[in-house]
Amino acid sequence: MKDQVRGKAEEIKGKVTGNRTEETKGKLRQQVGKAK
């Protein structure tokens, strides 16, 4: 659950700042959280 929340925060931060890498990392972290 913590990974999903952190991942969503990273994804939003990436979208707001236009940082595609941060956005992608956030999406990946969310997937890790779902897999756990």
Residue 19: its pLDDT value, please?
Answer: 98
Residue 18: its pLDDT value, please?
Answer: 98
Residue 5: its pLDDT value, please?
Answer: 97
The tens digit of pLDDT for each residue in 1-36 reads 899 999 999 999 999 999 999 999 999 999 999 998
Contact 31, 1 (CB under 8 A): no
Residue 21: its pLDDT value, please?
Answer: 98
Residue 36: its pLDDT value, please?
Answer: 85
Q: How far is CA 34 from CA 9, 17, 18, 19, 20, in A?
A: 15, 25, 25, 23, 21
